[in-house]
Structure formats: structure tokens, C-alpha cells
Amino acid sequence: MAAVSPLLVTRDLCRAFGGLRAVDGVDFSLPEGETHAIIGPNGAGKTTFVSLICGRITPTSGSVVFDGREVSRMPAHRRVRAGIAYTFQITSVFANLTAFDNVALAVQRQLIDARAGGRTAHALAEHGMEALDKVGLAGHADKIAGNLSYGHQRLLEVAMGLALKPRLLILDEPTQGLSDGEIDNFIGLVRQIGEEATVLLIEHNMDVVMALAERITVMEQGRILAQGAPAEIRANEAVQQAYLGG
């Protein structure tokens, strides 16, 4: 059986802020179709790393290759069109708009492209409702986003990412602030997403990580400390002592 080619590759990726190397020479490969978690303590460089992938910041050196294409200097909005969607660590919904309008804004570029291709606004409305339905928010489509619970706002942000039909969905601390019941539902949602897209997940909740990740990367001080399947990470003594309470 042929090996799955990587969807995402970083080579010697670095980002410095003054004298601080927040990301320090990271070589990383993500096969298409994988659900992959990045863990590590606060300040390990996790969010900076995924920000380099999605284009929110540019690297000091090194490269990001997506689907065989160099994207290191590509603006974030062009990476979205290429198939990379990123949900933020802190909710970034438009509080004064409805849930549906938030999703509609997320796919505004697709609406323009779809009209050029002869598709109708009605078809795109169905597309937006499909995204809301996947996260369980179809019944809240007309509600003002700022009036939704925090957990529902986090799910709305995931819907905004899903509406882009990404090949790579990056989720940054998605279960932060969610109740136990909401976390259980979220695990089911990510498993469903993983059937259609590659998922890169930053998460502190180790139960969530172990339930979802096919592979795990552990970062420390801007570098990769360890990488492997969940069982390998659990058995890694350095990781166990530092992060898993061993």
C-alpha cells in the first residue's frame, strides 16, 4: 500500500520576536486525512506555529508547504482559498450578527466564486445551513451570536471554518470553556469532520487529545520534544513527567 503523501510540511520553520525564538527550527509533516494534536505547556510555541501555517504571521526563516505548494509568504486570505481554515483560541465571532450571518461572512469569497460559476445565493444559503447543522446550531441560525452561550459561540466558530470546506481545519483550544457534555459532543463532531478533512488540533485537555488524535506532537520552548501515536506519547518518560502527571 502506497504511503499517504503529506498535505502539510514545514521545514526548519522559525519565528523570532526580538531575542525570543517562539518557533525554533520545526520540521513537521501532516498526512492528508489525519487528525493530529499539538500539545505542550503555555509558551511552548503551539499557537505561533499554527499561526505560521495559516498565515497570520510570517516566518523569520524556513518554509511552509501546503499540498505541494510553497505558501510561506502567502497572505492568510489566500491560504483560506487554498483550503486552510483556522479557528481562534479566543472566540472571534461577530457578536452583533446572527449565527447564520457569521457563517455567510465566512464564505463570502465562495459566494462570489459560486456566482461566477452559475450557482445561486440559495444554494450558498443551504451550504451555510449545512455547516450550522453539522455543529448542532441549525436551530440557532437567526439568533444574535453575542447572545449565544460561550459554548455555542465556540461551535459557531467551528461552523464558520467548516463552511469554507477546508482541506485542513486548525482548531486552537476548541474545548476551552466548554462543559463536560459539550466536550463529549465536540469529540463526536471532530470525528465527523475527520472523515472529510485533515484536522490539526491544539488542546490542553488530554482526554480529548487521546480520544481524537491519531498522532501527537509535543512542543517545548519552540521545538518538537516528541512525536508519535498516543500510546507512544503516553509511554515517553520526558513527556509523562512534564505534561501527563507521571
> In three state form, how does the secondary structure of the chain look?
CCCCCEEEEEEEEEEEECCEEEEEEEEEEEECCCEEEEECCCCCCHHHHHHHHHCCCCCCEEEEEECCEECCCCCHHHHHHHCEEEECCCCCCCCCCEHHHHHHHHCHHHHHHHHHCCCCHHHHHHHHHHHHHHCCCHHHCCCEHHHCCHHHHHHHHHHHHHCCCCCEEEEECCCCCCCHHHHHHHHHHHHHHCCCCEEEEECCCHHHHHHHCCEEEEEECCEEEEEECHHHHHHCHHHHHHCCCC
**Spatial separation of the C-alpha atoms in residues 31 and 3, rounded to whole Å:** 9
Residue 162 has pLDDT above 60, yes or no: yes
One-letter amino acid of 46: K
Q: pLDDT confidence of 93, banded at 50, 70, 90?
A: confident
Q: Which three cell numbers stand for residue 39?
A: 500539545
Question: 222-245 pLDDT, tens per residue?
Answer: 999 999 999 999 899 888 776 655
Q: Which three cell numbers stand for residue 160?
A: 464558520
How confident is the model at residue 58, as a pLDDT? 94
How confident is the model at residue 1, as a pLDDT? 45
Mean pLDDT on 99-110:
80
Residue 3 has pLDDT above 80, yes or no: no
Is the pTM value of this prediction over 0.85? yes
